[in-house]
Amino acid sequence: MYKIGIIGTENSHAMAFSKIINLPCPTTGKVLYPDAKVIGVYGPDKTTAQAIINEAGAEFIADSPDEFHGKVDAMMITNRKGSLHARYAMPFIEKGMPLFIDKPFTSNVAEAEKLIAAAKKSGSKISGGSGCKLAYDVLILQNNVHNLLASGKIISGSMNFAADTASEYDGFYFYSPHLTEMALKVFGTNVKSVAAFENGGSRVSIWRYENFDVSLHFTKDAPESSAVIYTKNGNIMRNIDISMVYPIEVQQFIHMLRTGEMPETYDELVLPVKLIAAIEEAVKTGREVAVS
């Protein structure tokens, strides 16, 4: 039995993940992962922590993160603020424990790199980031781009997702990982540089690849997400449905616990943080920013 602890119950993801892991499937009446259970949670908000005890069958509320040591085999860090993730994750990474770290992986590039350096040293396996990159529509778009690149027929592309530059949860870092990670999945990780502009609380970022550019629209208050791929044979347009991503995130995490196989490399976990930082710099300076 993989005993799992969660830190960051103020995030609705903590409740969603706990229910998927702990409760019987409504269709079959069977628990999907009989070899795993969320047994303990730490708020720091006690009201939401108690709700997971009441509704999702967790067994205890920790008085501090230290209480998980010796009681759990894996951790999920789900705090809304990415600026809290390194503080909470590092002690478990240093012990070599497997972790899920929610989006944003961190709200600081240096912190992300320190976490990864510690994970490489200890052997800690990590999954996480934005679940939106796992949506079936994103995977379909990824396949479209793969085929277009192979045939030399791609011209450009565009995607949007909601984001709030003034969020109380570390500003732009809170929601921007969704579009950032979706775009990396669809168009690839070889981004050369970014430019960015802000107007009315929304941001547009231009990502430059070797042979094409992509415009990303971080659209404040937008209720829907979609993508357009411009090709020599016409345009491919697709709305993006993210309604099923929670179960897929959990499935990836449990698979990692069972096999030790990370769904992404360590570098791929850090890259979205670097790109968000580059977008922030591009907005502030008005200049195109190279991506290392």
* pLDDT value at residue 274: 98
User: Whole-model pTM?
Assistant: 0.96
Q: Residue 105's pLDDT is what?
A: 98
- Tell me what percent of the chain is helix, strand and coil, each rounded to the nearest 5: 40, 25, 35
Q: Check pLDDT > 90 for residue 197.
A: yes
pLDDT digits (tens, 9 = 90+) for 49-91: 999 999 999 999 999 999 999 999 999 999 999 999 999 999 9
Q: Does 19 reside within a domain?
A: yes
**Do 168 and 144 belong to one domain?**
yes
203 vs 159: CA distance, rounded Å: 12
* Residue 250 shares a structural domain with residue 140: no
Residue 131 three-state SS: helix
At 38 the pLDDT is 98
pLDDT of residue 292: 79
pLDDT in tens, 121-134: 999 999 999 999 99
**Considering the domain boundaries, does residue 83 fall inside one?**
yes
Q: Are residues 279 and 138 part of one domain?
A: yes
Q: Which helix (H) or strand (E) holds 161?
A: strand 154-161
Q: Are residues 212 and 259 in the same domain?
A: no
What gap in Å lies between CA 127 and CA 147, rounded to an integer? 27
pLDDT at 255 over 90: yes
Query: Cα dihedral sign for 114, 115, 121, 127?
Result: negative
CATH number of the domain residue 207 falls in: 3.30.360.10
For 27, the domain range is 2-131+246-264
Residue 48 has pLDDT above 90, yes or no: yes
CA distance 148 to 142: 10
Do 200 and 260 sit in the same domain of this protein? Answer: no
Do residues 145 and 30 both lie within one domain? no
Domain tally, the chain = 2
Examine residue 138 and state whether it is found in any structural domain, yes or no: yes
The per-residue pLDDT for range 84-127, each reduced to its tens digit, is 999 999 999 999 999 999 999 999 999 999 999 999 999 999 99
Q: Tell me what percent of the residues of the chain surpass a pLDDT of 70.
A: 100
Distance CA(69)–CA(88), nearest Å, equals 12
Model confidence band, residue 44 (pLDDT cutoffs 50, 70, 90)? confident
The CATH number given to whatever domain includes residue 42 is 3.40.50.720
What average pLDDT does this structure show over 167-184? 97
The answer to whether residues 136 and 234 belong to one domain is yes
269 inside domain: no
Same domain for 151 and 280, yes or no, is yes
Mean pLDDT of the chain: 97
Same domain, 121 and 148: no
Same domain, 39 and 89: yes
Q: Say whether both 209 and 252 belong to one domain.
A: no
State the SS3 of 183-229.
Answer: HHHHHCCCCCEEEEEEECCEEEEEEECCCCEEEEEECCCCCCCEEEE
- pLDDT exceeds 90 at position 268: yes
Same structural domain, 163 and 285: yes
Counts for the chain of helices (H) and strands (E), in that order: 8, 13
Contacts of residue 41, defined as CB under 8 A and 6 or more positions apart, other chains included, come to 5, 6, 7, 9, 14, 18, 49, 52, 53, 58, 60, 61, 62
Q: pLDDT digit string (tens) for 155-164?
A: 999 999 999 9
Query: Is a pLDDT exceeding 90 seen at residue 145?
Result: yes
